[in-house]
Amino acid sequence: MAFRPALDKADRHITTGSDVNTSRPTTTAPQTTPAMPDPARFAAVVVTAAAEVLSGQRRADNLARWTTPELFAALARRAGLAKRLLGQAPTRPRPRSVHAQEPKRGTCEVTILLDDGNRVRAAAARLEAFRGRWLLAALEIA
């Protein structure tokens, strides 16, 4: 079933005999943006994965799809250094609380508390919308 809006009086055309109007008024569907995933849930998963990379429990390659190229390069460089200096951490970090807010359309700022059993760390992340999904663009872990 198709919906066609009523024509304006100026657009109406009366056809008689062989005078057939083959052109139809074109209508465009309203542009709808795909629903973005929940930024708090996405950030909890990706920031936890980034903390695991930095603690030597996960390979940095796992983050390539979910981060900007600049952040991925920085995380990969830091992960190698941290693993050589500190070794692998005994327990995996778990998100304790997540708070997200969207200061402007297409970006989201998230704060996360990560608990690794021995210590609770604060993390701040900036997400940017990219082709219907979120990308981790900036990350600070204290």
Confidence at 99, pLDDT banded by 50, 70, 90:
very high
Give the per-residue pLDDT at 80.
74
Residue closest to 67 by CA, chosen among 141, 139, 137, 140: 137
Distances (CA, A) of 70 to 22, 61, 78: 53, 14, 12
SS3 131: coil
Q: What is the mean pLDDT of residues 76-88?
A: 73
Report pLDDT digits (tens) over 69-79: 999 999 988 88
Is the model's pLDDT at 122 over the cut of 60?
yes
Give the integer Cα–Cα distance in Å for 134 and 41: 11
Is the model's pLDDT at 98 over the cut of 80?
yes
What does DSSP assign to residue 103? S
Average pLDDT for the chain: 79
Question: Helices 39-54 and 69-86 sit at what angle, rounded to 10 degrees?
Answer: 40
Give the per-residue pLDDT at 71.
94
Q: What global pTM score does this model have?
A: 0.71
Report pLDDT digits (tens) over 39-68: 999 999 999 999 999 888 888 999 999 999
